[in-house]
Chains A and B, each alone.
Chain A
Amino acid sequence: MTTTRRDIFKFAGGSALGALLTPAPWRLITDTALWSENWPGIPRPARGEIRAKFTHCSLCPAGCAVRARCVGEQPVSLAGVRGGLCPFGVTGHQLPYHPARLRQGPVSEAMAAVADAIAKCGPGERVAVLDLRPGRTASWTARRAMAVLKNGWYIAPVQSPVAVDLTKARTVLSLSAPLLERWGTPANVFAVRDGFRLIQADPVESRTAALADLWLPIQPGSEEALALGLAGQLTSAETAAMTGLSELQLASLENELTGNGPALVIDRAMSPAVVALNVKLGGWGRTIVPRAEAPVPPEWKKAAPVTELAALPDRSIRVLLIDESVPGEYLPWDAIEKKLTPGNPLVVVFAWSADGYGRYAKYVLPTPVYPEATDDIPPAIDSPAPCFRIAAPLVAAPAGVVNPSEFLAGVAGLPPADALRDRARAIHQAGRGTLVTYADGKSVPVKEVKPDDFWKALNAGGCWVGQALPPAKMRAQRATFPQPTRALASLTPSPQPLFAILTGAPGPALASPLFTKLYEESDLLLAPNCVALHPQDAARCGVAAGNRALLETPNGKWSVRVLTDSSVRPGVVLAARPEMAGAQGKVVRV
Chain B
Amino acid sequence: MRGKIIFLAGLAAALGAGWAGFPYAIYTSRPQPVDFSHKVHADKAGAKCEDCHAFRDDGTFAGIPTLDKCAGCHAAAMGTTAAEENFIDQYVTPQREPPWASYARQPENVFFSHAAHVKLGNVKCESCHGALGASDKLPRYRQDRISGYSRLGMSMTDCIACHRQQARADSCLDCHK
Contact = CB atoms under 8 A, between A and B. Distances in A.
Interface stretch (A10-18, A532-540, A575-583): A10-18
A18 B3 contact: no
A50 B6 contact: no
B19 A38 contact: no
Interface in B106-132: 107-109, 111
Given A7-B6, A11-B6, 9 more contacts: A7-B3, A11-B7, A13-B10, A14-B14, A15-B11, A22-B22, A32-B147, A34-B146, A37-B108
Interface in A1-35: 6-7, 10-19, 21-24, 27-28, 30-32, 34-35
Contacts, number: 95
A38 B148 contact: yes
A35 B6 contact: no
- Per CB-CB distance, the 3 closest pairs between chain A and chain B, nearest first, are A22-B18, A14-B10, A18-B14
Contact of A16 (B9, B14, B17): B14
B26 A27 contact: yes
Interface of A: 6-7, 10-19, 21-24, 27-28, 30-32, 34-35, 37-38, 44-45, 50, 76-77
Interface of B: 2-3, 6-15, 17-19, 22-23, 26, 58, 60, 107-109, 111, 144, 146-149, 177
Given A6-B3, A38-B108, A18 B146 contact: no
Contacts of B13: 11, 14-15, 18
A31 B147 contact: yes
B144 A18 contact: no
Nearest to B2: A7
Given A6-B3, A35-B146, A37-B108, A18 B12 contact: yes
Given A18-B15, A50-B58, A50-B60, A10 B10 contact: yes
A30 B26 CA distance: 12
Contacts of A50: 58, 60
A460 B6 CA distance: 76
Contacts of A44: 108-109
A37 B107 contact: yes
Contacts of B109: 37, 44-45
Interface of A is mostly: helix
Contacts of A18: 10-15, 18
B22 A10 contact: no
Contacts of A11: 6-7, 9-10, 13
Contacts of A12: 10
A129 B132 CA distance: 69
Interface centre among B3, B17, B58 (most CB of A within 10 A): B3
B144 A14 contact: no
B22 to A, nearest CB: 4
A22 B22 CA distance: 9
B22 A23 contact: yes
Contacts of B11: 14-15, 17-18
A31 B177 CA distance: 22
A35 B18 CA distance: 21
A34 B60 contact: no
Contacts of A6: 3
A58 B58 CA distance: 30
Nearest to A38: B148
Contact of B26 (A14, A19, A31, A77): A31
